[in-house]
Amino acid sequence: MKRLSGLVLVLFLGGTLAVFGSGKKEGNTLKYWMIGNPTTEADQGKPADQWYVNQAVKRFEAKTGIKVEVSIFPDQSAFADKFKAAGIARNGPDVSGIWGGSVMFDNKDFILPLDPYFTADELSQIASINAFRYNYKPDGPLLGIPNAVSNDSLMLFYNKEIFRQAGISDAEIPTDVNSLAAACEKIKKIGVTPIAVGDQEGYYSAFMMLPLYASASGAQGIRDIVEGRNTFAQDADFVAAARVYQQMYSLGYTNPDVVSLNDSAGQTLFASGKAAMIVTGQWMIAAGYQLLGDKLGMTKWIALRPDAKYKGLMVGGPSQAACVTSYTKNPEQAIQFLKFLMSKEELVQCITVGNNSAGSTPFKVVPPDTFKDPFSRMLVDFNKNAPFSVFWLDNQLPQEVATELYRMSPLLLSSALTVDQYVAKMDEVMKRNILK
């Protein structure tokens, strides 16, 4: 009897602990998840207490008494998985970074629409705010605000020293497919890899192929495909862009291990001087300048043809959003934190402490001359003089289509798929995912 009573008591205690013992600390603590490196590449060399984000959190805590717990997730590609899993389990953050476009739209059920919490005046201070409205519709719910002080811009980076050795003058810096091919042939002759590509994740189709397509079709081409008015196979510009992309590997203009090398290894290949060029976002500037110094050159990515309708366009925009989760128990405090981060004082701090390079910012309160480094000045000029700009094209695709694009990109590049097979596969997935 004694034994039985003891056992029942243990079971009761155990059950009580299990039910109540795991309770979270609630109240004045916000959980904030950040994707990738803490704010900027420049932070990586500093001790954590000097990072912009940690300093900003201290200022917020001092001002409001609300504690913020920051978690940083360096693996950007796995972050979306984590965010979704946390959303289903309702144990994720209060405030989070999230990639715009299909990733954000796919997770909209876990994100709090922000329209009721921002005045029209506050929203008018943000350019390109519709980039974070559901399906980019002006009347769609606002799912986030830009999470980075700078707009991302796609650029062609090159090594000036290698160009000089190959005999490529400033006038011969590539602007279209023909001049790129000519430059690559010269670089090959001196035994250097012309273009660094790390396409294991498939992002280079978005960096290189889709912008080629956009230089001929503008922003409307991809919208027509996504909304069912056209197909990949029937769009001659898309097929042409896919063919050019494939030829870059078959003509030996890239490193031989494009399929197995990942994106960051590709950037390392360029930054270490083993390749002459790379096509990626302006986030390359910090690491590139650190390793290459004044040898680092930057220009716009090329057009599909010398007479392409949108030659000289800029591809980019606010890629990452800050959002509030729909299951947060502290929505007002989360919004308060968001508004703190987008205040003018904090944005200027983020630029000066974090040493961001950018040519434009989605926040109109930031004076354009806040970005002082030479590359930012170049980006400002590129953006000012660009005849056209278009938002990241892969972000405009439904997520299943974007995933298939990334998956098939290495097969297209390495000619494991013909262009016809590739567009057929893309159309097959697109048929299931037409956006209305």
Partner 1 sequence: MEPSATRVISPTHGPSGRRRLRHDNLTAFLSVLPMIAFILAITVYPTLNALFHSFTKWDGIHVEFIGLDNYAQIAKDPRFWQLLLNTLIYVSTVPVQILIALFIMVLLYEKLPGWRFFRSLFYLPNVLSPIIIGLIFRQAFMWEGPINAFFKANHLNWLVLDWLSKGPTAMGVILIAIIWNNFGYGVVLFLAGATMIDPCVFEAALLDGANWFQKTFRIFLPLLGRVIAFFSVTTIIWIFTGLFGLIFAITKGGPGYDTTTLEYMIYLNAFKAGGKMGYACALAVYLFVITFGISRISMLVTDRSDR
User: Could you say which of 54, 73, 106, 309 contacts partner 1 (CB under 8 A)?
Assistant: 106
Q: Which of residues 338-397 bind partner 1 (CB under 8 A)?
A: none
Q: 3-state DSSP call for residue 158? A: strand
What DSSP letter does each residue of 280-309 carry, written as one string?
A: EETTHHHHHHHHHGGGEEEEPPPBSSTT-T
From CA 60, how far away is CA 137, in angstroms rounded? Answer: 33
Q: Is 109 in the site for partner 1 (CB under 8 A)?
A: yes
If the CB atoms of residues 13 and 236 are measured against partner 1, the closer one turns out to be: 13
Q: How far is the CB of 256 from partner 1 (least distance, A)?
A: 6
For the chain, the straight-line distance linking the first and the last C-alpha, in angstroms and rounded, comes to: 69
Q: Is 275 in the site for partner 1 (CB under 8 A)?
A: no
Q: Is 35 in the site for partner 1 (CB under 8 A)?
A: no
From CA 249, how far away is CA 226, in angstroms rounded? Answer: 28
296-299/152-159 β-pairing: antiparallel
Q: Is 69 in the site for partner 1 (CB under 8 A)?
A: no
Q: Is 414 in the site for partner 1 (CB under 8 A)?
A: yes
If the CB atoms of residues 365 and 416 are measured against partner 1, the closer one turns out to be: 416
If the CB atoms of residues 54 and 268 are measured against partner 1, the closer one turns out to be: 268
Q: Is 258 in the site for partner 1 (CB under 8 A)?
A: yes
Q: How far is the CB of 197 from partner 1 (least distance, A)?
A: 12
CA 104 from centroid of its chain's CA atoms: 12
**Applying CB under 8 A, which part among 3-11, 66-74, 291-299, 349-357 lies near partner 1?**
3-11
**Applying CB under 8 A, which part among 113-121, 211-219, 251-259, 338-346 lies near partner 1?**
251-259
If the CB atoms of residues 266 and 359 are measured against partner 1, the closer one turns out to be: 266
User: Could you say which of 9, 48, 88, 190 contacts partner 1 (CB under 8 A)?
Assistant: 88
Q: Which of residues 143-202 bind partner 1 (CB under 8 A)?
A: 200-201
User: Could you say which of 36, 38, 87, 266 contacts partner 1 (CB under 8 A)?
Assistant: 87
Q: 3-state DSSP call for residue 202? A: coil
Q: Is 8 in the site for partner 1 (CB under 8 A)?
A: yes
Q: Is 411 in the site for partner 1 (CB under 8 A)?
A: yes
Residue appearing with tokens 């203009």: 253
How long, in residues, is the chain? 436
If the CB atoms of residues 122 and 428 are measured against partner 1, the closer one turns out to be: 428
Q: Which helix (H) or strand (E) holds 194?
A: strand 193-195
Q: Return the number of other C-beta atoms located less than 10 Å from residue 180's C-beta.
A: 22
**Applying CB under 8 A, which part among 103-111, 139-147, 212-220, 379-387 lies near partner 1?**
103-111
Q: Is 403 in the site for partner 1 (CB under 8 A)?
A: yes
Counting Cα atoms < 13 Å in the Cβ hemisphere of 51 gives 15
From CA 260, how far away is CA 257, in angstroms rounded? Answer: 6
Q: How far is the CB of 217 from partner 1 (least distance, A)?
A: 24
If the CB atoms of residues 377 and 407 are measured against partner 1, the closer one turns out to be: 407
Q: Return the number of other C-beta atoms located less than 10 Å from residue 399's C-beta.
A: 18
Residue 356 neighbours by CB under 8 Å, 6+ apart: 39, 40, 42, 148, 149, 150, 350, 371, 376
Residue appearing with tokens 């094209």: 393
Q: Measuring CA to CA, which residue among 127, 136, 251 is closest to residue 197?
A: 251
Q: Is 243 in the site for partner 1 (CB under 8 A)?
A: no
Residue 408 neighbours by CB under 8 Å, 6+ apart: 202, 205, 417, 422, 425, 426
**Which residues would be at the binding site for partner 1 (CB under 8 A)?**
3-4, 7-8, 11, 14, 80-81, 84-85, 87-88, 102, 106-107, 109-110, 200-201, 255-261, 398-400, 403, 407-408, 410-411, 414, 416-417, 433
